[in-house]
Structure formats: structure tokens, C-alpha cells
Structure 1
Amino acid sequence: MLWSDVTKQRLTTWLPAVTDPAAVDFLQDMDFTECYGHSVSSVAAAARSGCRKRVRRLIKRGFSVDCRDNRGWNALHEAAAAGSTECVQDILAAAGGKKAGSSRGCSAYVNSLTHEGESACYLAAQRGHLEVVQLLLEAHSNINQLTNDLSCPLYAAVDGGHKEVVELLVGKGAEVNRTHTASCWTCLHQAVYKGHSEIVRILADVCNLEAVDDHKISSLFVAAQYGRQECLEILVNAGADVSTQAADLATPLLIASQEGHQVCVDFLLDHGADPNIACSHEWPQLPIHAAAEFGHISVLRRLIAVTDRACDRGDGMVSPLYVAIHSHQSKSVEMLLREGFSPDAQDCTHILGIRSPLSFALSRTSSKPYSESVVLLVAAGASLSEEDWVYALATDETDLLQLILKHRWIPRPETLTRGCSVPHQDGQTVLKLLEVRELLCVALNQVHFAACWLPLLLKAGLEPTLLLQPHMLEQADSGVLNYLLEFVNWSILSPPLKHILDRRRAEETWEPCPHFDSVPCLSHMCRLRVRLVLGPDLLMRTDVVQQLPVPSLLHNFLRFGDIPEASYTHSPPSPLSNRLQRCRSTHKHRHVL
């Protein structure tokens, strides 16, 4: 047991026997732990409780007002923090008296600091004790005294939202533009951050509106970032720059768009904020990119109307489609496409290492066969490159190929042009010559998966003779080869192709259908002629067969529906990334058109 505890125990035993009232008061006021660093002094304890009578009694009996605890707090700190104006008055009077009326001594006392560098004025301002702050300032408290963490009475009052204290300190000449905290914020930054609009209104009249922190962020930027609408309006009306840029070139409009603060975005645009200022050192990022990346659809809609469309297809620019795809914001992708942004955008290989939005969307597909962004881009008519076809054909999964064929029309060879994709009569987009060439080139390099993609392509209207290439006949599985030959007149193949078939038959790597040894029957010759006249696209993809003057039982036959498909029986394919890499390293471009 501590000595003080033993003493207290003894006192409680004989204290009732003491009859002198003065002695009773003295004993009750005594603090037997006064010598221990972890406890406050008697005067400080009384000041903390705001008991003026006890403070006066202790001072009168000679107790010290400057005895400190382990935080460096004395009685004045406790009284100021408690907001006890009367205790502060008595403690200041006692401190002045001890210095023989010296105003210099009282000034030193009133400016004494805790171990955290906090003055009594700081503690009172922090807690909003207006009268105490007034009293301490009259006692010559340093109004701009900094704490260890670079705060000050005004910054503390601003942080706490104590408007009257702020008004008092500003009126008394407090430094309003000094930087505080490790981030170098001013009082105006903090007032905006906390959303104390009335304090912002006070400070906006006396502060430097363009003061910035260590990242060159202004108070207006902070208002936009945290959606402080009223503070934003006060600052703009006071003349703050709406297009100020931080160290990384971000603007208030960019950050408001990123955070989805619709009201702030509207206000900034209505007051002159430029939506076409580049906001990044790395590439020309605009506010529209931020809205698209974070899926803020209402903000994105507003920015689409005011952003220069050069960002969509312009050289050296980056379409917002890219960032929407990167962050899996399919709603942003949908809106951009609906508002006329190109599904092909610009080639950003030199900026981001990305060739096209579709290639990027396909590369970011993980667990699902294809993402919603892929669906939207294909439906919007995005051009298909060689690598895009690899994603569709170098796999035993046919989801992506089916999606492409749902929205893209394979024209007959004689109608292919080098021009841009054009809508077909049913809303589908017709493949361009280059796209068909790339399709065939990838298909002939992915014969391993032909059992998966061949039926889909032929039923989508691809002319089968385009696949009658030496590589196809040499590499295709027996079932795949038989399926392809059923779509042509096998009796009139060119001599080189017949030679390949004969060799494979001799090597027993191909087991032909029995009827391949004879001339095709008349019915097969007839349907080949019908396909030639109508075109494979119309025959396979429309109801034109139903309009022919032939029995309905022949409809399926004329569309080659009687031919059984070959089955895919190979081992599971390697990961798509490995197949893409292998395709790039072993790919051979085959001229088939």
C-alpha cells in the first residue's frame, strides 16, 4: 500500500474526532498524492470540477497554481478546458500576485504549455469556451501559439465548429493564412472539410482563397471532394478559382465527378469549370473519365453533354470507354455507347498498351465466358481483330462466338468490301473484308477446336469453300473433315486437295464417309445450287427457304440440317492466356480471300 493510502486510512479513523471546523476543511483539502507525477494538484482538481470556492480556499492557504501533472497541465489548463471563467480569473490573479504584480510573470504563466504544446487559450478554443478565451486574450495569451502538431487556437476552434470563438479570434488578429498539420492545411481547408459553412463564410472574407496544401489542393478542391455544396457556393461566390489544379493536375470538377457529387458537378459547370482540362500527367484524363470509372451515371450524363468528343476518337486521347471497362462499370459503358461514343475508340497502345475497347474487355474477362462490357461492345458493332477472334475460336467454349454471330452478319464473298461495317437489314452489323480475313486466318490456325466453331460458322452463313485450304484438310480431325466435305461437292476438289485426302486415307488418319467415293447424289447437287443462288448468308440465317415452292419437309435438308456435327473429344484446353501467347508465337497469316 502507498504511503498516501495508509495516511488516508488513518485519517478516516480519527477525522471524526476533530472538532475545529477550520482544521476539518484543511484536512479535507489536503492532497496526499501531490508529490506523485501521475496525479493532478489540488488546485487543478478543483479547477477541473469548476468549484470556485474550493479553488479560492486552496490558493489562500498557499497551494500552488503552477504544479503540473504528467501531461504538463497546471491549474489554468484545467480551468480553461473546463470552461470555468471564475476559476480562470482567480488562478490568473493568483499567478500575478505570486509574481509581485508583474505583468511579465502573468504573461509567462498564461502562455505556459502542456507537454503537447497546448496553451490554456488553445484548450478553451478547442472546446468552444468563448468567455474563457476572451479572458485569456485580455491576459495577453499568445493568440497564434502553435502546438506540437502545428495547430493553434483558431484552427482548434474551426475544427470544433465554434463560430463565436472563431469570430473573436479573427477579430483579435489571429493569423488566418498560416498552414497547420503535417499536410499544411489552413483554417479554411479545415472549415470546409468539416462542413462548417458559417465559419467558411467568416474566413472567406479574410483568408487567401487560393492557399494550397502540400499537394497544391485548395479549399475549393476540398469542398468539391467531400461534397460540401454550401461551402463550395460560398467560396465560388467569394471569387475562388473553379478550375484550380492540384499537383497531379486534378481539378475540383474531376474530383467531384470521381466522388459522384452531382450537385457540386452541376454548380461547378454552371460557374465556368472547364470539363476539357487534362487532369493527369500520364495521359489526358478528363472529369468524364472519373465519372465513367466509378459508375456515377447521372454525373456522366451531364459531362457527356459538355465534353469535347475529341476524347472519343482523337489521337493522343483516351476514350472514357477504356476506364469504364477497366473498372467493370457496364452501366457506364452502356451509356457511353448509347450517347454515340465509338465502340472502337482510338488505338491506345502507345499510351496504355491497349489496342481497342473490345480487346481490353476480352482481356479482363475472368470467370465468365464474357463480361457485360463485351456484350455491349459486340452489340454496338465493335470491330473484331485477329486477337479478338482468338478469344472466340481458340477454345472449346462457344459462348463468345455465338454472341458475335448473334450480332454480326457474315456476308457472301462477292459482296465483301473494304469499307466500314454497315448495318444489315435486321439491325446486325455486316463484317468487313478485313474482319472476315482475320476470322478465316485464326480459324485455320485453330483447327484443333474446329469441331466447336465450324458448325456455328457454317450455320451463320460462312461460305464453306473458304475453308477448303490445304492446312485445314491436313490438320482437321476425321469427323471435322467429313462434316466440312458434306457442305461441298467433294467430287470436284482440286488435285492438290484430293492428293491430301488420298494421303490421309492411306495413312489412316482420316476415315471418310462411304458415299465420298461416289458422285454426290442429285438432291445434294440441288441444294448446293440453291445455296449458290440464294447465298449462304440468306439461306442459313433467314426464312428464305420457307418461301420457296418446295415441300416443307425439304426445308431442313436445304439448310444442311441433316448433317451430324462432329464432337469435340480432346483434352481440356490450357488457360486462355497460354493459348493467346502460343497463338502469337506460332501464328501464320493465311491468305484465303
Structure 2
Amino acid sequence: MSTMMLLRPAQGDKRGHKGMDFTECYGDTVSSVAAAARSGCRKRVRRLIKRGFSVDCRDNRGWNALHEASAAGSKECVQEILSAAGAAGSSRGCHTYVNSLTHEGESACYLAAQRGHLAVVRLLLKAHANINQLTNDLSCPLYAAVDGGYKEVVELLLSKGAEVNRTHTASCWTCLHQAVYKGHSEIVRILVNVCNLEALDDHRISPLFVAAQYGQQQCLEILVNAGANVNTQAADLATPLLIASQEGHQACVDFLLDHGADPNVACSHDWPQLPIHAAAEFGHIGVLRRLIDVTDRVCDLGDGMVSPLYVAVNRHQSESVEMLLREGYSPDAQDCTHILGLRSPLTFALCRTSNKPYSESVRLLVAAGASFSEEDWIYALATDKTDLLQLILEHRWIPRPETLTRDCSVPRLHGKTVLKLQELRELLCVALNQVHFAACWLPLLLKAGLEPSLLLQPHMLEQAVGEVLNYLLEFVNWSTLSPPLKHILDRRRAEKSWEPCPHFDSIPCLSHICRLQVRLVLGPDLLMRTNAVQQLPVPSVLHGFLQFRDILKASYTHSPPSPLLNRIQGYRSTHQHRHVL
């Protein structure tokens, strides 16, 4: 679901991409002087120049001898070449030559700075090299030296007046952005004294944001101590704290929080996303633990907010789900239908479950007491798989209807969360609309203490297959059914769509009447789910009988079921609310 996707793509190296990189020396394209300069052989360069070879012949990259000597870091060869260029023409011509550019727009000064050749850069600057000359991809000598981490070259260029706040590359990064990205903390320490700390790129990302995104803790500390804004926001409202939380940079998160970063600033235009959402979504448990302590709990249940449980469920981050629930976040959260199209974290977890019966997130939410809606019950009942229903019944207590009212319910009983009246209504409504799967869910529900008479509805008697109908009738006094229900059974018998058990034509035996009375007194929940029957003054051999264990379950009639999603959609469009309570 696109609205849940929080990932902000890595910025990458903002220098841009050069063209083809020709690094080999081709004899037919590289001049003799340039080849000698590349090898750093001053004597050979001098000898070739004296013999009249040109220092300005260019190869297929636009490189001349000065470019080669500067890139190779040969101060002596650079001196020879510059002397030859000066002797060959006016000082203006020498100035033009020292600033000649390759096809990529690289000057000799740029090539030397890019490779950290301090002495060569100093020599070229003395020869009036343009210190701020831009390359085709908007780099410059200072930016190249910063990128390479050449501190002494950076200091030299700054001392000679290099521009420090110009933007470079298509993404508008400054030298400070690049130094932080590369983690050159010593250079960052120099630049914070001369650069704009709040310079923004094309996404309104500051150098401090870059430090948080890439986990450059030392650079982050330098920037913060220099006065950079820890709560700066990018164009999409992301903060450094959010991006550090997303990337899992624990030390950066801790430092930001300790120095004034606000964990409750909304970081998205679409919905009130907070750093805790990013940590939960990407499963950074240490970061999540720290943020839980400082994040306003209004995000858990507040209207117009989104619980971090939603994003954790979206990414199947069960560890995040478990921690949030353990720290008191509500398994029901708030209804986010208007924001995300989701009613609850449980509904989301169920619809995110693939081919498995249920996900770990579903298990955690059910165990934490998440409420069930009609749609949630469909996942448990509209299938021949019983894993999810069994999980639910492990953690839910089905109460006797008479113990519930519309206004109150028992929150927990015998260590289990008690189904509310509305949940029980919706469970029965879905069950009666999924009679085809009754052979699967009926034994489980009755064993879990559901009052059998709640299922003695016309629709059940009309639609259930014979085995299921016989199984249900074994749990009641079939001789006292209401006339309308008896009429349905008579009709089905006449149509031969149901073959009753032979003893259904007789009055129930006394033993059956007795166990029905025991169930009435104890209640089906206590009878079926506790050891209450074992406390009765009856022989132990009767315990199983009193709990209806002698009744054989019906077998499910297999037919190729449609995909669960189709069954859910079909249920939504065709089901009827059946008032059974």
C-alpha cells in the first residue's frame, strides 16, 4: 500500500556521473610530451620540449601535457611545461593555457586537487589557475578536494579564496554536504567555520540531515556543536531524527534527542508521520525503544493520528509489533479508514497475511486482546483452515449471552479476553453466512463454549449439510425445537436433502437430558473450557460424556474454494445481518 511506504531513497554520491573514463595511454592519441608527463619523467619532458614538441597537443579526452602532469602529481613536469608555455607566448597566453579544460571541463588545478597533489595545486595557483573553475558536472577544485578527503588541499584552496557556499552537481550540494556525506570529519570541522550550515539542496536537505541519514555521527556532532538546526525539515517535512530513525542509526538518534530534536514533529504532508513510525516500520528495535519513551502517546489512539502499529504490521515487523504492545500501545489503535483505508491493525494484519493461516503480527495482536470486526471473523470462518480460529479461541473467552449487556462486559475471564456483545453478534452473523464451512468451525466453537441454541436459526437448518446438521442437533434437545424449525427439518427430510440420525425420531434419553441440564446450570463456557465437570459428584467415566465428547465431528465436504479475498468481497455484497442475540 503506497501510503504506508516511508522509505526515503539514499541520496548517493551527489557529484554526478562522468562520461567514459579513458585511462589507457594510446600512442596515436596521446602526445609524446603528455606521455612523458604522465610518467613523471622531467628530463624526457624537457628534452621533448627542446626538440620542438608541443605542450598543447590534446588526446581524445581533451587532455594536454599540463593535465597529465597535474593528474600525475609531478611538480617538476608541471614546472617544465608551464615554463615552456610562458616562453612560447605572452603572459596572457600562459594564463589561458594553465586554465585550459578537458572535454569534461576539468582544469589542471581540478585534476591535481581531485587527487590530493598539494604541491602541484600550489604551483598552479601561483600561475594564476582559476580556483573556482567549474567542470561540466558543476564540480570545482575545492569540491573535488573535499570529496577526496584531502584536508591540506582544502585548507590551501580556502586560504586562497575559494568559494565555499556555491552549489555543485544537479542536486545542488555544497562542499559541506559532500564532506559530511563522505564522513570527512576533519574537513567538516574546517568548513563549519566558513560555510552556511543551513545550506539546502534541491530537496531542502541540509548538511546535518545528510549526517543523520548516513550515520555520520562525528560530523553530526560537529554540526550541532557549531549551531546547526537539529529540527530542520526537508521538502517532504522529514527531519534528521526521522531519517536517522528510518536508517537505524542509534548513536545519531540518541545524540539528536539529547540535543533538542523534537520526536513529535509531523514529518509528512500525507499523514502525521513521526520518527517512531520509521523505526517501527523498519524494525530498528533499539531506536524504537528510545523513541517510545519520548513520543507523545496521542499517536496511539488520537483522532487524525496513525498508530505505529499500522506501519509495523505493513512491513511484517513482528519485533516492532511485540515491543509496541508490550509498552502499552493499544492493539486496536484508532480507526484509520479515512487516512489509510484501514479499520484496525488486526484487520490490516489479516489482509496482509499471504498464504499462511496467520502471520506473527496477527498472533501478537490477538494475544494482546485486539477487538474483532465482522470482516476479521471472515478470515477465521470463511475457510477450511482452522489455524486462525484455533488461535483466536486460545485467547478469547466466549461468554454466555445472559452475562452480557449492551453497556458492559467482563474484560478478562480465566486469563482470556472476553468477547464483547458486539463481537459475539458479528461472530454469529459471519458463521451463519458461512454455513458451507460449518464442519470446520462448528466443532471448535462448541468446544470453546458457544451456546449451541444460538445457531438454531432457520438459515442454518436450511443450508447445513446433513452431517453438520446432525452434529449440531446432538448438542440440543431436538424434541423441543420450535414449530418453524421442525417444519424446516420435515421439509428437508421429505426432499431427502437431510437424513437424520435414527434416534432423532425418539424422545432424548435421560442421560442426554441430564447433560443438557448440567450445561444449563454450569454454562457452556465453564462446562467445555474448564475442569468444572470434574468437580461434580459423578463417576469420572462420565466426564467426557458430560462434555459431549462422544459426538463424532462432521467431515468437511471439499470443493475447490474461491480465493479468500473473493469470499470476503462476496460476503460484503450478499450477507444478511441475522439477529441471534
Q: Aligning the two structures, in what range does the TM-score lie when normalised by the shorter sequence?
A: over 0.9
Q: Deviations over 1:129-180 (max 9, x none)?
A: 0011011111110000000111000000011110000000011110111111
Report what 1:502 is aligned to.
Answer: 490
* 1:461-500 alignment, distance < 5 Å: 461-500=449-488
Q: Distance in 1 between matches of 2:354 and 2:297?
A: 31
- Larger CA deviation: 279-288 vs 58-67: 58-67
Q: Residue 310 of structure 2 aligns with which residue?
A: 322
Q: Give the Å deviation of 1:342.
A: 0.6
Aligned mate of 2:380, from 383, 392, 395 = 392
Partners of 1:422 and 1:375 lie apart in 2 by 22
Unaligned runs of 5+ in 2: 1-25
Q: Contact 2:409–2:421 at 8 Å: present in 1 too?
A: no
Aligned with 1:568: secondary structure?
coil
**Mapping for residues 503-542 of structure 1, pairs under 5 Å:** 503-542=491-530
Q: Distance in 2 between matches of 1:495 and 1:563?
A: 25
Please tell me whether residue 356 in structure 1 is matched to residue 344 in structure 2. yes
8 Å CA contact 1:122, 1:156 repeated in 2: yes
1:69 aligns to 2:59 (yes or no): yes
Matched, 1:561 2:549: yes
- Superimposed CA distance per residue, residues 196-216 of structure 1 (whole angstroms, 9 cap, x where no aligned partner): 100111111100011011111
Between the aligned partners of 1:61 and 1:555, the Cα distance in structure 2 is 116
Distance 2:441 2:194 in 1: 73
Give the match's secondary structure for 1:429. Answer: strand
Letter in 2 for 1:386: E
Aligned residue type for 1:56: R
CA distance in 2, matches of 1:329, 1:421: 32
Distance in 2 of aligned mates of 1:451 and 1:164: 80
Contact 1:37 1:69 in 2 (8 A): no
Structure 1, unaligned runs of 5 or more: 1-35
Select 1:379's aligned residue among 333, 349, 367: 367
Name the CA distance, whole Å, in 2 between partners of 1:427 and 1:165. Answer: 71
Counterpart CA distance in 1 for 2:27 and 2:47 is 23
Tell me if 1:80 matches 2:70.
yes
Q: Do residues 43 (structure 1) and 33 (structure 2) align?
A: yes
Q: Secondary structure at the match of 1:400?
A: helix
Structure 1 position 131 matched with structure 2 position 119: yes
Matched letter for residue 89 of structure 1: Q
User: What is the DSSP-based 3-state SS (H/G/I as helix, E as strand, rest coil) of the residue aligned with 2:412?
Assistant: coil
Q: Tell me the amino acid that sits aligned with residue 454 of structure 1.
A: L
Amino acid paired to 1:70: N
The partner residue of 2:44 within 54, 60, 79 is 54
Query: C-alpha distance in 2, partners of 1:214/1:420?
Result: 56
* One-letter amino acid matched to 2:59: D
1:474, distance to aligned residue in structure 2 (A): 1.1
Q: Deviations over 1:417-440 (max 9, x none)?
A: 335764434321000000000001
TM-aligned CA deviation for residue 282 of structure 1: 1.1
Closer, same or farther in 2 for the Cα pair 1:38/1:274, shift >3 Å?
farther
2-structure distance, mates of 1:282, 1:252: 18
Q: 1:18 corresponds to which residue?
A: none
Any conservation in 2 of the 1:419–1:432 contact (CA below 8 Å)?
A: no
Aligned equivalents of 1:184, 1:38: Cα separation in 2: 39
Check whether the contact 2:397–2:413 (CA below 8 A) recurs between aligned residues.
Answer: no
Q: Are residue 415 (structure 1) and residue 428 (structure 2) matched?
A: no
Cα distance change of structure 1 residues 126 and 420 upon mapping to structure 2, 3 Å threshold: farther
Q: What is the distance in 1 between the residues matched to 2:100 and 2:307?
A: 60
Q: Does the Cα contact within 8 Å between 1:333 and 1:373 map onto a contact in 2?
A: yes
- Offset at 1:61? 2.4
- Higher RCO, 1 or 2 (CA under 8 Å, sep at least 6)? 2
* Residue type of the alignment partner of 1:138: K
SS at match of 1:360: helix
Q: Following TM superposition, by how much is the alpha carbon of 1:409 offset from its aligned partner in structure 2, in angstroms? A: 0.1
Distance 2:466 2:476 in 1: 16
Q: Counterpart of 1:432?
A: 420
CA contact (8 A) 1:38 1:70 kept: no
Q: Is the 8 A contact 2:300 2:333 kept in 1?
A: yes
Give the TM-score of the pair, scaled to structure 1: 0.92
* Cα RMSD after superposing both structures: 1.2
Distance 1:242 1:426 in 2: 50
Give matches, 1:183-222, under 5 Å.
Answer: 183-222=171-210
Partner letter of residue 177 of structure 2? H
> Does 1:277 find its partner at 2:265?
yes
Q: Is the 8 A contact 1:65 1:76 kept in 2?
A: yes
Q: Secondary structure at the match of 1:295?
A: coil
Cα deviations by residue, 1:492-539 (Å, 9 ceiling, x for unpaired): 111111111111111111111111111111111111111111110000
* Partner Cα distance (2:214, 2:410) in 1: 46
User: Could you say which residue in structure 1 is the equivalent of 2:256?
Assistant: 268
Equivalent pairs counted in the alignment come to: 556
For 1:483 and 1:63, how far apart are their aligned partners in 2? 106
* TM superposition score normalised by structure 2: 0.94
Structure 1 residue corresponding to 2:448, chosen from 434, 455, 460: 460
Q: Which residue of structure 2 lines up, in the alignment, with residue 94 of structure 1?
A: 84
Amino acid at match of 1:369: P
* Conserved 8 A contact 1:421-1:429: no
CA distance in 1, matches of 2:27, 2:200: 43
Q: Secondary structure at the match of 2:399?
A: coil
Residue 122 (structure 1) aligns with: 110
| Structure 1 residue runs of 4 or more that deviate by more than 6 Å after TM superposition | none
Task: Give the distance between the partners of 2:58 and 2:467, measured in 1 at CA.
Answer: 95
> How far apart, CA to CA, are the structure 2 residues paired with 1:339 and 1:501?
53
Counterpart of 1:575? 563
**What is the rounded CA distance, in whole Å, between the counterparts of 1:547 and 1:476 in structure 2?**
36
**What is the CA distance between 1:38 and its match in structure 2?**
4.2
Equivalent residue number for residue 168 of structure 1: 156
State which drifts further: 419-428 or 508-517: 419-428
Report the structure number with the largest CA radius of gyration: 1
Structure 2 counterparts to residues 281-360 of structure 1, below 5 A: 281-360=269-348
Q: Tell me if structure 1 keeps the 8 A contact 2:266–2:273.
A: yes
Residue type matched to 1:509 in 2?
S
- Whole-angstrom distance in 2 between the partners of 1:420 and 1:240: 54
Matched, 1:250 2:238: yes
Letter in 2 for 1:478: G
Distance in 1 (CA, whole Å) between partners of 2:411 and 2:298 is: 24
Aligned-pair CA distance for 1:546: 0.7
| Residue identity (%) | 86
| Native 8 Å contact 1:443 1:450 kept in 2 | yes
2 CA distance for matches of 1:574 and 1:481?
24
Which residue is 2:3 aligned to? none
Structure 2 match to 1:8 = none
Distance 1:422 1:524 in 2: 31
Q: CA deviation at 1:60?
A: 2.1
How far residue 184 of structure 1 moved from its aligned partner, in angstroms, is 1.0
